[in-house]
Amino acid sequence: KSVEDGPSPTPIGQSTDKTVPTLPPATSVVSAPAQYKMSLELLEPIAETIPDELVAMGIDQRQWAKIRADIEAGKTQNPCYNCPWCEVCYWCVPGACLQTCLCLLNPCSWYIISRIKAGQAQAMKAINEDLERAGLPARCKVKDSVCGDKAVFYTGPEP
């Protein structure tokens, strides 16, 4: 029916063409970048079972055991490793937030921080070398935060 003869009997937004277009089959799998964060604090133990997010990145239980050992070895660089509550007391007692500010003026604090960072760097280097050797796209880096340092496992661009 032509447009000049009046309105079309087909409702607006609907087509009278009953053919369904076919799409070509997918030829590759696209994976979105993934990310998993875990605490590196002394008072927070590392999970024994591998997190699902890391399984999705291709890491298996054997590699997870090595990652745990590398992180734990890095933690031993912390002078408060044998007494995690000593670290809490050092940074927060007696003045809470004010105590932390005062501690940053103390050269001993900078020594403690340097030891912690050296241990974390050692752990991340070992973990990334193992992941690369296994041919996995996952990588790990330390993310500093006011709320504590985190290990960030990721695929895709560095966060």
Peptide bond into 11 cis (omega under 30): no
Note the pLDDT of residue 145.
81
Calpha distance 88→125 (Å, rounded)? 27
pLDDT per position in the chain (159 positions), as tens? 455 555 656 556 555 666 656 656 645 444 556 899 999 999 999 999 999 999 999 999 999 999 999 999 999 999 999 999 998 888 877 877 787 788 888 899 899 999 999 999 999 999 999 999 999 999 999 998 877 899 999 998 887
Phi, psi of 44 (to 5 degrees): -110, 110
Q: Which residues are registered as beta bridge partners of 152?
A: 37, 141
Cis omega (within 30 of 0) for bond into 94: yes
State the pTM of this model.
Answer: 0.73
The pair phi, psi for residue 143, each rounded to 5°, is: -115, 115
At CA 134, angle to CA 132 and CA 137, rounded to 5?
A: 55
The tokens describing 8, both together, are 């079309």
In this prediction, residue 97 carries a pLDDT of: 76
Q: How many other C-beta atoms lie within 10 A of the C-beta of residue 32?
A: 7
Please tell me the distance from the alpha carbon of residue 8 to that of residue 32, in angstroms, as a whole number.
45
User: What is the per-residue DSSP string for 70-128?
Assistant: HHHHHHTTSTTTT-HHHHHHHHHTTTTHHHHHHHTTSHHHHHHHHHHHHHHHHHHHHHH
